[in-house]
Amino acid sequence: MARTVSVGVDIDALVHYHRIHGLPEGRASNAAWRDALPRFSEMFEALGVKATFYAVAADLAIPGNADRLRALVAQGHEIGNHTLNHRYDLTRMTADERVVEVGQGRYRLEHAAEAEVVGFRAPGYNVNADLLRDVAATGHTYDTSVFPCAPYYGVKAGVIGLLGALGRPSQSIVGTPRVLFAPRAPYRMDPNEPHTRGDGLPEFPVTVAAGLPMLGHAFTALGRRGAVAAAQLAARLHDHVTVEFHAADLLSLDEDRLEPALAAQRDLRVPLARKRETFEAALRALLDGATCVRLCDLRLGPPNEGARA
C-alpha cells in the first residue's frame, strides 16, 4: 500500500500562548496570522505540499485574517475547525457552550473561507465522547485531536502543576491518560470511548514514532539531523503519517519582535532560517516515496484497515 502523509498547521494566535504562560493578553500580536502563514505557504509551495490549516474562528474578528484564510484556500489548502475561541476546557463545558464552540467555529470558518470545513482539531488535544458527538453532529467528517505521546503528556502535566504552584494558573488542562493507549494509526472511534476503535467518526492521530512526535516544535528541539532521523523512522513504521505544526513554529522572538516574556516558549528563541531548514528536511524525508494528501481527502476503510487516499 502506498504511504500517505498529511500536514497540518494549527493557527494558534499568540494570545493563546499568553494565556498558557499566564501573560497579559492585551500585548499579544497577530504575528501568527500575519507573518507565519505566508512563511508556511511558501515552504509548502516549495515542497508541493497541500496542507490543512486549523483556524480559530474568533481570530476572524481581526481585519485581514479572513482574507488570509481565503488566500490559503486559493492555494489549494484545506481549512479545518480549531473551534470558536480555543478554550482548553471544552470537555468540561456544558453541552450548550460546547456545541457553540464546535458548531459556530465551523460555520464562521466556512463562511469566511468560502470553502467546506470538515475537519476538527480540539485545543490542547483534549477530547471525550460528548465533544466528539458534537463534532460529528455539526457536519465534520473527521477528527484529528488524539495525540498519544507520553513525554508530551508528562511535560504538560508538569508545566500546569508548576504554574499552579507559582500562583499563575494555566488555562490549559491535562485531559485523560487514556489517550496514551489510543491506536497509533488512523482509526474509527468508538462513539462512547474515543480512544478505542469502533465504528464512529474517523480519527487521524498526530503520528508518534517510537516516542518521537511528528510535531514542529519536536523537530525544532531535535535539530535538522535528529528531525530527519525521526521522520525516516516514522516513514518506516507508519503507512500514514500525520504531521502537526503550529503557526508559531515559523515565528521568532527576535526577528518578529515578539513580547519578550514569550521566551518561556523556548522554540521561539531558535532562528527562523534554522527552523525552516529543519522543517523542510524533515518533510522531504517523510514525503520521499509517499503521497501528500489533505486529511479531507483521506478515506478510512473498514475497521482494522489502513487509510487510503
Helix (H) or strand (E) holding 159: helix 150-165
In this structure, are residues 281 and 229 in contact, taking their beta carbons and an 8 Å threshold?
no
Structure-derived torsion over alpha carbons of residues 258, 261, 264, 268, reported in degrees to the nearest 10: 10
- Closest of 147, 162, 172 to residue 91, by C-alpha: 172
Tell the smallest beta-carbon distance from residue 102 to Zn ion (Å). 14
> Mask 62-91, x = binds Zn ion (CB under 5 A)?
------------------------------
Tell the smallest beta-carbon distance from residue 10 to Zn ion (Å). 4
User: Which cell is 196 given?
Assistant: 478505542
What is 2-31 written as a DSSP string? -EEEEEEEEE--HHHHHHHTT--GGG--SH
Work out whether 175 is an interface residue with Zn ion (CB under 5 A).
no
Interface with Zn ion by CB under 5 A: which range of 9-17, 143-151, 265-273, 288-296? Answer: 9-17
The residue among 179 and 287 lying less far from Zn ion, judged by its C-beta, is 179
User: Strand, helix or coil at 84?
Assistant: coil
- Closest of 203, 204, 233 to residue 218, by C-alpha: 233
Interface with Zn ion by CB under 5 A: which range of 5-13, 19-27, 195-203, 270-278? Answer: 5-13
Q: How many CA atoms lie within 13 A of 45 on its CB side?
A: 9
The residue among 10 and 203 lying less far from Zn ion, judged by its C-beta, is 10
Q: What's phi and psi for 162, nearest 5 deg?
A: -65, -45
Interface with Zn ion by CB under 5 A: which range of 12-20, 102-110, 259-267, 269-277? Answer: 12-20
The residue among 8 and 186 lying less far from Zn ion, judged by its C-beta, is 8
User: Strand, helix or coil at 228?
Assistant: helix
Residue count at the site for Zn ion (CB under 5 A)? Answer: 3
User: Which cell is 250 given?
Assistant: 515559523
Q: Which of 3, 12, 53, 207 binds Zn ion (CB under 5 A)?
A: 12
Q: Which of 3, 5, 8, 10 binds Zn ion (CB under 5 A)?
A: 10
The residue among 10 and 249 lying less far from Zn ion, judged by its C-beta, is 10
Terminal alpha carbon distance of the chain = 10
User: Which cell is 252 given?
Assistant: 521568532
| Contacts of Zn ion in 101-160 (CB under 5 A) | 123
Interface with Zn ion by CB under 5 A: which range of 11-19, 37-45, 61-69, 132-140? Answer: 11-19
> Mask 186-205, x = binds Zn ion (CB under 5 A)?
--------------------
The residue among 3 and 68 lying less far from Zn ion, judged by its C-beta, is 68
The residue among 85 and 128 lying less far from Zn ion, judged by its C-beta, is 85
Helix (H) or strand (E) holding 129: helix 129-137
Q: Using CB under 5 A as the criterion, which residues of the chain lie in contact with Zn ion when the complex forms?
A: 10, 12, 123
